[in-house]
Amino acid sequence: MSNDPLESAHVRVVREPGPNEFRDPATRAEFRKATVWLGLAVGIALIVLLVQPLLIIFAGLVFASMLDGGARLLGKVLPIPRGLRIGLVLLLVFAFFGLVFYRTGMQISEQAEQLRTTLEAQANRVARWASDMGLMPGRSDINGMLREALGSVGKLTSAVGTAIGAVTSMVMILILGLFIALEPRIYERGLQWMVPLDQRHAFAHMLGGMATTMRRLLAGRLLGMLFEGVLTWILLSVAGVPMALLLGIITGVLAFIPNVGAIISGVLMAAVGFSAGQETGIWAIIIYFAVQNFDGYVVIPMVAKRTVDLPPALTLSSQILAGTLFGVLGLALADPMVAMIKVALESNARLNGKKPKRDGDSEKD
């Protein structure tokens, strides 16, 4: 007979821990699992809700990498404090754009209006031809489709689509990039504090690899933009294609977005070239393919050797996804985001490969 006063012949006391008692090891294990899944769900929800601010922050990091790369380049010839080098880089950039618009501002504005008129005329000509061939619906249906498409794009990029939103986002990106470029060690130290002490060495190496890759990737991208813009302008001018200067500037700017930017610039060049005649249009197409092939087979491989070699299909797929989910800003930042993810995965793979084998591990994976 039990000595427990709570027990009797008709009452049985359960002595195992209940499911609500945190002292039970099984309950603690299940609670940890539930916490992990709940944290993952909350993290995904926060990313969805805060996607535009996160993109602005990442764009600030991209701009900071540009400033940091310029400051490091100046540091090789000018042994002055970092803040002065950052200011000198900004001064040189503003001076360059100011000089360009001062010397060619009137020409650019005239060509911009001419480009708009030319594109409208060419689009109407193609629409009439397609409608006559029975390949497209009537003009009223086309206008309705265009309004619907533009409405969808406006909804997709509402955060950065308006003029005020675009200006505000750009100012925030510039300020964030400037602050980060002036004192990068502060933010790097803060990120390392968020990682357990035994993993900080590997995390610091990963951050360093990301920063180096970002600087080299953007340096190569800026070099490609300058090359494509200047070469396109010169060749189109020699071939007699109208609005060569504006087309060169547009091509250079769109070169920041691989694949998609090249397609857009090629369509613009062909449309403007054929507006001046069939022979001029053919020359515009030849120039486009010549510049793109030289950039693809000479400039990009040289840059990829020093940075991250991203397969074209991976880059284009990421641009499609980022552009659909995040709008224009996501499309512009898709390439740097994929490069950073690839560097992180490679760093993690190298770290796992260097871990010592335990006694029970086999020699072959």
- Given a cut of 70, whether residue 257 has pLDDT beyond it is yes
Contacts of 52 (CB under 8 A, 6+ apart): 159, 160, 326, 329
Q: What is the DSSP letter of 79?
A: -
Q: Is residue 364 part of a domain?
A: no
Residue range of the domain that includes 306: 48-349
Domain presence at residue 2: no
Q: Is residue 27 part of a domain?
A: no
Query: How far apart are alpha carbons 178 and 287 in whole angstroms?
Result: 38
A 10 A CB-CB count for 157 gives: 20
**Which two three-digit tokens encode residue 330?**
């996501």
Round to whole Å and give the CA distance between 161 and 154.
6
Helix/strand number for the chain, H first, E second: 14, 0
CA atoms within 13 A on the CB side of 147: 6
pLDDT at 151: 47
The answer as to whether 25 is a domain residue is no
What's the pLDDT score for residue 323?
A: 81
DSSP states of 99-154 as a string? HHHHHHHHHHHHHHHHHHHHHHHHHHHHHHHHHHTTSS--HHHHHHHHHHHHHHHH
Pick the closest to residue 345 from 310, 319, 316 (CA basis): 310
Measured between alpha carbons, how far is 186 from 354 in angstroms, rounded to an integer? Answer: 29
The pLDDT of residue 363: 43
49's tokens: 């809700």
Question: pLDDT per residue over 326-364, tens digit each?
Answer: 777 888 888 888 888 888 888 878 777 655 444 444 444
Instruction: Report pLDDT for 273.
Output: 84
Residue 41 has pLDDT above 70, yes or no: yes
Predicted pLDDT of residue 160? 42
Contacts of 300 (CB under 8 A, 6+ apart): 220, 224
Residue 144's pLDDT band (cuts 50, 70, 90): low
- The number of domains in the chain is 1
Tokens (6 digits) for 353: 């490969």
- Report pLDDT for 34: 82
What pLDDT sits at residue 319?
A: 82
If one compares 3 and 84, the residue with the highest pLDDT of the two is 84
The pLDDT value recorded for residue 149 is 46
Residue 96 placed within a domain: yes
Higher pLDDT: 312 or 79? It is 79
Per-residue pLDDT averaged across 173-182, rounded? 88
**Residue 255 resides in a domain:** yes
- How far is 172 from 174, CA to CA, in rounded Å? 5
